[in-house]
Amino acid sequence: MARFEVPLGIVLAGGEGKRLMPLTADRAKPAVPFGGSYRLIDFVLSNLVNADMRKIAVLTQYKSHSLDRHITTTWRMSTLLENYVTPVPAQQRLGPRWYTGSADAILQNFNLIHDENPKHVVVFGADHVYRMDPSQMYDQHLSTGAGVTIAAIRMPRSEAHDFGVIELAEDGITIKKFHEKPSDPPAMPGHPDLALVSMGNYIFKRDVMEEALILDSEDLESRHDLGGNIIPMLTAAGQAKVYDFEHNVVPGATERDKGYWRDVGSIDAYYDAHMDLVSIHPIFNLYNREWPLLTNPPSLPPAKFS
């Protein structure tokens, strides 16, 4: 469908990555090398830029030097077209405190949103391995008029307890309930062994998001987390819709890697994702001429894990 504006992109890259130690001893989780000279953050940035969403603020916090260097060295956009990928360190704009959660991170950077004045804001995580065309999700977001659209993927129920789990209303798109890391994840209707889980990728109406973040900031009991507080709030208000990642069509993708998505939050998951790359016909192929990883690895110094 025709789009009247390009949304502002916010990438949440402040993760400490404790479960990836010792790889995160000297760097934030999104800066951990992957597939040789790439970094985990290159996947989300490539997806957004390939989809022509080229005004992107990367919110950092912990051990951000390696990540800042990578972004400023390799992600150079056209300033003539007012495009940018810029790291934004925690600035304590609301007082002498660091971010208390992902929702608070956005709240403390309202100035970035006000400067661009978009009608919609794309908020994606920085530490997953996947290909996605976010413009297809954005088209659905506009057509449904959702306050927030959440990208979701099917996952075995036995593994879903580490994620936000979605229950849908009868229309198959409105979110009826959102469970953040439930001990007993609800199954998808007709699929007792599967659950529908959030990928940590959201598109918000700007006014809906700002109102929700301000209300949340006034709740002293809140953890100020997008998945734990903001999404349940908007779900209860009937504002939340789901985008099924299974319907996303990425140019150049094969049947083998279509719908591939990995959360590399632990050493075992990090290893398994690398094993997906190394066969003669890999489960996930880093090389895709039509939807490339856009960073320039040869310009980077070798990664050091010591």
Q: Largest alpha-carbon pair distance within the chain?
A: 54
Given this model, what pLDDT does residue 65 score?
87
Q: What's the chain's average pLDDT?
A: 88
- Residue ranges of domains in the chain, CATH in brackets: 8-147+200-286 (3.90.550.10)
Instruction: Identify the CA nearest to 89 among candidates 115, 108, 103, 116.
Output: 108
Confidence of residue 4 (pLDDT cuts 50, 70, 90): low
Least reliable range by pLDDT among 37-46, 57-66, 212-221:
57-66
What are 207-250's pLDDT values in tens digits?
999 999 999 999 988 999 999 999 999 999 999 999 999 999 99
Give residue-wise pLDDT tens across range 84-111: 899 998 877 776 777 888 999 999 999 9
Q: Are 67 and 15 in contact (CB under 8 A)?
A: no
Report the C-alpha dihedral over residues 85, 104, 269, 151, rounded to 10 degrees.
Answer: -70
pLDDT of residue 297: 46
* Per-residue model confidence as pLDDT tens digits over 140-151: 999 999 999 999
**pTM of structure:** 0.90
Ordered alpha helix ranges (H), the chain = 41-50, 65-74, 102-107, 110-116, 134-144, 206-217, 231-236, 267-275
CA distance 73 to 114: 27
Tokens for 106?
Answer: 């956005």
Q: Are strands 128-130 and 261-263 parallel, antiparallel or unpaired?
A: antiparallel
Of the candidates 31, 8, 14, the residue with the CA atom closest to the CA atom of residue 206: 8
Q: Name the DSSP letter for residue 29.
A: G
Question: Taken in order 298, 300, 301, 304, is the CA torsion positive or negative?
Answer: negative
